[in-house]
Structure 1
């Protein structure tokens, strides 16, 4: 749904830019506007929908050459516009196009806490399902469920939960689900260089920051926790 809305919004902005430019000579900006729209899509997709920080950087860097090419192209059209009829309208269209891109360029990307708030219902649905599987002795403590092997757990979780796990992987960057404790589930974002972080969802008012055994159970055995909201913490381990 979010991807569809972004695509429609980018197309709408392109149509508005072409409309402002006017019918006369609009063919001259169709290609650079399409290139700029692609750059805008990469920026928005990378900052909002992509799950992990590394992929966000890749998408944003990929947009830079497109912005440069389309920007130079539009500036050439700008310099030639005084000789054409309705040049003020054409200049407004070019300024509007570049302004939209620069606004998107400097909007900060969503962090993991932002994405937790966006997909909160999915996080809690998955954690409830994992807690239930643990209580029913279908999963042992310490079990790690990698998103690359979710098909192996179709006999434990219903399809709706498997789909939510895939969604959290695609949109929030969750690479693994870990039964960290009888009252704690880790949603791991994977390792970056020599560190790892993620979201810890708890039950029974568990405070993981006070559990020294839990802190020393995984990763580099020095896990730190930061409170987000009731029963939800961000965890970090490594350098």
Structure 2
């Protein structure tokens, strides 16, 4: 996906997302006529400023998709979590914050009409799948990048949004956990194994492969009139 063939990147706007218990900080980018909006749910120890997440978000934007990068934890919680790691594996908390964010997007004039995709990494993938199960009418596609979809538990069987599981070929444990989760999914789904890559996809060219796979998935299902058949 050559950047030279894509449209210019949109401006990024700082936003405050009001959830039921805290205000979260985010960065919203919307092309002039977005074909959908991809909401990022990052994993353990990451943030909206992660270079990996921002690189993937820019690839989405260049493909005509809007993006929302935001922190699932407040600044105070994030500071505490760096020391204690008490929140990053609290899947229920992460999923609740993500669900609140999807609801917030449905109330905002600039985003309420957009079809929503969720891009989850690490534990954020489990949160994305739980939110997809909780908001069947609002979430239209899910992508997991090196994620732990198995941690979504019973929610997996309730997901209706088409789901892409992307796993690094050098990550056999996570491959096995993704295969376990895939067996519980009843929605349209696919597993893509990126060869010669670890779960962070830090090897040369691997994150670009992830971006291409994810952008194609979202472009297909967010642009569709109805990605899952009759609702």
TM bucket (normalised to shorter chain) is under 0.3
Could you say which structure has the higher strand fraction?
A: 2
Q: TM-score, normalised by structure 2?
A: 0.28
Q: TM-score, normalised by structure 1?
A: 0.27
Could you say which structure has the higher helix fraction?
A: 1
Larger Cα-atom Rg: 1
